[in-house]
Amino acid sequence: MSEQRNLTWHASTITKDLRHRKNGHKSAILWFTGLSGAGKSSIANAVSLKLFDESIQHFVLDGDNVRHGLNKDLGFSEEDRKENIRRIGEVAKLFIDSGQFAITAFISPFQEDRNAVRELVGEDEFIEIHVKCSLAECEKRDPKGLYKKVKQGEIKNFTGIDSPYEAPESPEIVVDAENDSVEACSDQIIAYLHDQQYI
């Protein structure tokens, strides 16, 4: 604790507002949450492509990719999942401070953890996106073969099966990933960003 008291936050010469003005758009976290197989990464990357085409500064933080590096020391216990989301929240905050959109695609099963990330940033800088898809449909899709491994007893603490998933209480956006295409879902998100004057 004494070491932390010796730390002082250093204010950047180039502020977030200056970056917004230069970029011509705001910055925020687009936080995709949903069950494994719901389509979070696919929709997040479709949104990324649309933002790229509009010359909007952004970066995608994908759950599996982050666990290859920054969070490779974490497992899938409830404690490790919380730490996984805490770290991603801090990284995403750095991106929005740099004037970019941080697009995060994580199961992030606990509302408390998602709320904690929301509290890290400004009131309008966290956009929670529920990628809604039934467990039955996610099991049917099983793009990574994870549900099959769960049934074979190879994976424990799997969200939606033997570990809970808490659907968002009041997300800014809900996309129907079970019935709508990736294109339609990504269009819905881009339309929101335009309507709310983020871009």
**Residue 69 is part of a domain; what is its CATH number?**
3.40.50.300
CA distance 146 to 178: 18
Residue 149 assigned as binding residue: no
Closest CA to 34 of 155, 160, 118: 160
pLDDT at 76: 80
Q: Which domain holds residue 108?
A: 2-195
pLDDT at 9: 65
Residue 39 assigned as binding residue: yes
Residues 30, 172 contacting (CB under 8 angstroms): no
Read off the amino acid at residue 57.
Q
pTM across the whole model: 0.89
pLDDT per position in the chain (199 positions), as tens? 456 677 766 777 899 999 999 999 999 999 999 999 999 999 999 999 999 999 999 999 976 777 777 788 888 888 888 898 999 999 999 999 999 999 999 999 999 999 999 999 999 999 999 999 999 999 999 889 999 898 888 988 888 888 899 999 999 999 999 999 999 999 999 999 999 999 9
Indicate the angle between helix axes 111-120 and 78-97, nearest 10 degrees. 20
All residues at 6 or more sequence positions from 133 whose CB lies less than 8 Å from its CB, including other chains: 34, 35, 37, 38, 39, 177, 178
pLDDT at 65: 75
**Cα dist. 64→41, 61, 99, 174, 188 in Å?**
10, 9, 25, 23, 25
Active site residue 108: yes
First-to-last alpha carbon distance for the chain, in angstroms, is 41
Residue 34 assigned as binding residue: yes
List helix spans (H) across 121-195.
135-141, 146-151, 182-195
* Residue 152: CB atoms within 10 Å: 8
Residues 128, 85 contacting (CB under 8 angstroms): no
Residue 28 assigned as binding residue: no
CA distance 162 to 178: 22
How many domains does one find in the chain? 1
Closest CA to 159 of 108, 117, 102: 108
- Stated as kind and residue range, the H or E segment containing 164 is none
Residue 35 assigned as binding residue: yes
Residue 36 assigned as binding residue: yes
Q: Is 29 buried (19+), middle (13-18) or exposed (0-12) by CB count in 10 A? A: buried
Among 27, 48, 108, 186, the active-site one is: 108
pLDDT at 3: 64
In the three-class reduction of DSSP (H, G, I as helix; E, B as strand; rest coil), residue 134 is classed as coil
Tokens of 168: 């968002």
